[in-house]
Amino acid sequence: MSVITAYKSDEDGRIFEDKKKYNSHLRKLAASRREKEKIKRLQNLQQQWWEDNFYHKVKSIAQLQAAILEHANVFAANALKHCDHIKKLPSPILVKFNKFDLSYQDEVSNSHSCPHDGVTNWGGLGNVPTSYPGWRGRFDYDTAWFKEFSFVYAGSSELWKNTRIHTGSGGGGYFKLHEGSKTHGLQNFGYEIRMYASDWPAMATAYADAEVEIEKQKIMYILKNGSTRGFTYNIDAIVNEKYPAV
């Protein structure tokens, strides 16, 4: 009676009669594990960067706008990462905002986007949320670009993909040359945007503090005037004043 020796890989269950092939398979599995662990570490570092420089740092709309411009190179890299047709072209650098209008709302629709810990609800289903607290508005901006590539819409919505700044309706690509230049210019884009409070904890805390302050002001107003008639406030302006761009 002959005995057949076999080697089984505990990781994926594959069985080998040849020990060399078995050992080679184990080495490949180990290399694959190391590569996955490397990618995971890189992803964690990238996520921590966003946590440190945006989600747990930015406290106001004014600070958000300034932080985006300060880290324009990161958003440029993000555009290259998510847009196949511009991978071999220069980075689309965001150079200025022409409009940055956001306002806080108790209910921001999640029909097309949602917070990282939430769900979308395209059909308005009753068994899941139809909105989350957050900010909604629109921005319009220019990216540095080149005349020879003016037909390529670089730096559009890809700038914002996976940044927790969700773009909606909009577009652009209009190209204009810099004054005095024959080659360098700007492309203009504009989008509706939505942001959710749970994605931006530092801003959420700042707005919660502002709401407490507003309630105090309302009580003082009632004590002085007998009712809330004529009492007005702008929570975005309050937060921007307390936490200006740095």
| pLDDT tens digits, 10-62 | 888 888 877 888 888 888 877 777 777 766 777 677 889 999 999 999 999 99
183-223 pLDDT tens trace? 888 889 999 999 999 999 999 999 999 999 999 999 999 99
More confident residue, 171 or 139: 139
C-alpha 181/C-alpha 145 separation (Å) is: 12
Return d(Cα 171, Cα 192) in angstroms, integer.
Answer: 9
pLDDT of residue 212: 95
Q: Which residue has the tokens 């002001």?
A: 217
Residue 6's pLDDT band, with cuts at 50, 70 and 90, is confident
Phi-psi region of 4 (alpha: psi -120 to 50; beta: other; left: phi over 0): beta
